[in-house]
Every structure is written in C-alpha cells, then in structure tokens.
Amino acid sequence: MDLFNKVYKEHNYTIAKEKGIYPYFHKLYSGQDVVVDMEGNRTIMLGSNNYLALTNHPEVKKAGIEAIEKYGSGCSGSRFLNGTLNIHEKLEKDLAEFLHQESAMTFSTGFQSNLGIISGIVGRGDYIVCDRENHASIYDACKLSYGKMVRYSHNDMEDLERKLKEIPSEAGILIVTDGVFSMSGDICKLPEIVELAKKYNARVMVDDAHGLGVIGKHGRGTGEYFGLEDKIDIYMGTFSKSLASLGGYMAGKKEVVEYLKHNSRPYIFSASMTPASVCCANKALDILKREPERVERLNKVSDYMRKGLKEKGINIIESKTPIIPIYTYQDDKTFIACKLLLERGVYVNPVVSPATPVGQSLLRTSYTANHTEEILDEAILKIKEVLDIVSKL
C-alpha cells in the first residue's frame, strides 16, 4: 500500500473548499488589532489571543527592534549549549518573581513547553491525570512521555477522584489541567484539584496559556484568581497571547526547573527563543506589571460583549473570561457562518468536530482590552444577522 493513499482521499477540508466555505488561512495585511486588514477588507477581529492589546504597543515593538540590533536575528543553538543570552535569564528571573515562584525556564514555543515539561518530568511507572478538554499539546506531551495517561471528564471532580483512586499508591502522579480552557473559556476547579492532589499525593500542573494576563487581580492567572499560587507545583504558559511575543515557559521550584533543564529533550535539542521574542515578551510583562488595569479593562470588554450577545438571544457558553463561544451546532453551518461574517467584515474562529463533540460546533470569539463598545455593538448586530440566516438553512 502507498503511504500517500490517505493524502488523496476526500477530507473535510477538501469538501469545504469545494463548497466555497473553507474558513482557514485567511491572510492578514496588518498587525493584530481590534480592526485589521484581512485580504484587503476592513475586518473586526474577534479571533485573536492578543488579550492585553500589546502586540502593536510601541514599547514592545521598540524592544524587539533593539534586541535584533544588539543580538542579531537568532541564537544559532540551544539553551543547553551556545544559545543562552543574558536576556533569556533576565526574562526568566522577572517571570518567576511576577508569578511568585522560585525559578523559571523558557521554551521556544508554547506547544514545545508542554512537550518538554511533561515528557521531562513523567517517567515509566508514573501517571498523568488529564482533563479531557486540555490543549492538544498536553495530549501530545503525554504520548511523548513514558508515563500512563488517564483522562477524567471535563471539570468533573468526582470523576477525577475515581481515576485517582485507581492509581497504585506507589506511582508518581501529575494532575494536568488548563487554567482557562481555550475553546470553552471556562476556568478549572483549582481548589478542588488541589485538595484531591493533597489527598492522593499527586502534583499539580496548570497550563495557564489563556490565564496569564486574563484572570487574577494583577493578571497572574489561575493561581492568583483562586488565591492558590503556592499550591501549584508547575506553572506553564505562553508568550504568544497576553505577552505579545512567541515562546513559552515553566515556573516552579528551583530544583524542578534545574531537573528539567537537564532532562527535557525538547528543551535541550531545540534552538532557544530569538532575541526579539525574548525582549518583546519581557517588555510586555513590564507593561502588565505597571498597568494591571488592562486586565480590568479586558474583563469589562468581555462582560459587555456577553451581555450584548445574550440580549440578542444568541446562545453562548457562559464564562468569566474573554473567550466567548457561540453555538452553531453543525460543522457546515459553522463554516457558512464564518464565511458570511467575513463577508460582512467580522472574523471569528470556527471550532468543529473533533475539537468539539459532534453536534456542538462553535464560533469561538475572543476579545482584547482595546475593543470599544462601538466596535462590539457593530459586531453583535452582524453576528445576529448571520446567525438568523444560518438558522434557516
């Protein structure tokens, strides 16, 4: 059999292209903002993770430019060997202090961070207990590790305890959960997870990619939101969202960080973060620290949009975050809705099976701290108009 046989079969994406409703890879001709130039058209951006609106901040851009001028475009090696710059260590120190952790380490991408942390710390005979709605990078990390993965129903603490009870008492256990779940926007039940971890002698890892800069009074994420910063054993997060750059990190006890620096293959065998990415992330972190009101503004924007959508009778998933999913239920209707919205100047992200259960497809909308009420009102009207059309199909 030819390995490429699968390539030439009919797929969902080829069908969508034939129908003219393919929703992916739309080109931007401008930077991330509340209104962008998408394929030559003015488009309201409701699909970005630029939560704190820092990707175009003049200080962030200046930091990246100055980094390239001083250090060049890349590091030409891994952190383990020649690729460690003083700015890497400064970012890690600043990040650890901000998160109230002893130490931190950085990875070249967020996806790689989960791969590197989980595969580095979980070995043979260990167990990873994983929320079913965790990010795909966590699942791939579980496959890369030598441990056994056990999944529990989303945010179901009774199911989590059932799964923990079944694990041999002599096994090492890592409970892994998203802090803010990227598709639904809901928040993990961290207090209950921490209690169960204590009861069953497990460690807790929180993927706070969508939590940092989003929840908590100062934007420190899920731990701060619940007042449990000292109960999380491993913090993971990314720089590609609130911190306006590219890369990822792990923060925790000094000994855990040191162990991973010497045992994480994705960390040891990958080139380090580029100078521009490092300095942009560090400058964004500086701005978050001095302007925590950006987090408050982001929450006000999100609350305004939730209220406006519900007043129009639009069925959303309730959350307390800037991720507001809108039910469209069927994959085809989701693609059609995206196409009609884009034609009207609004971009949203389609979420279809298998990313969601069959029959629960979504339009994932997300918001930034500089969305104005005028822009949001315009978007609400267009979303309502399109959903009314799609509902009749």
User: By C-alpha distance, which of 276, 294, 208, 288 is closest to 248?
Assistant: 208
| Active site amino acids | 182, 210, 241
Cis omega (within 30 of 0) on the bond before 354?
yes
In angstroms, the CA 87 to CA 65 distance is: 14
What is the residue whose two structure tokens read 């204590």?
198
In angstroms, the CA 109 to CA 372 distance is: 31
Q: At residue 332, what is the residue type?
A: D
